[in-house]
Copies of this chain bind each other. A is one copy, B any other.
Amino acid sequence: MSRNKVNYALIEDASYRKVSYNKRMKGILKKSDELKTLCDVEVATVIYGPYRNEPYTFPNNDVVRNTFIKVKELPTLERSKNMVTREEFTMQITSKGKEGK
């Protein structure tokens, strides 16, 4: 964004890529924190790249672990497709789905 439009592709220049990474990391973490506070939802993010040996966790390792546990039982991609189909079917037989978005 800014002085020029951003091209949606890998930034070829390594040093500029790192500068961009640092700025954007900061931006995403701020946005995540805002979402959590403004809308009262749980947000857990892990970013893993060549700039640190360990993955970066937001807001911290413990919250990430707690939140990610909820994902354990979720379907794999293959099963997920079936689930959606089932959901859509349920939507059809009930007048309206009850979940938000």
Contacts and interface: CB of A to CB of B under 8 A. Distances in A.
A93 interface: no
A70 B55 contact: yes
Given A71-B57, A74-B61, A52 B99 contact: yes
Interface of A: 6, 8-11, 17-18, 20-22, 24-25, 27-28, 31-32, 34-35, 37-55, 57, 60-62, 64-65, 67-68, 70-72, 74-77, 80, 99-101
B48 A68 contact: no
B65 A61 contact: no
Nearest to A11: B38
Contacts of A40: 10, 17, 49-50
A26 to B, nearest CB: 10
B71 A61 contact: yes
20 contacts: A6-B34, A10-B38, A18-B39, A18-B100, A20-B38, A21-B35, A24-B35, A28-B35, A32-B45, A40-B50, A41-B49, A42-B49, A43-B46, A46-B68, A55-B71, A57-B71, A61-B75, A61-B76, A61-B80, A64-B71
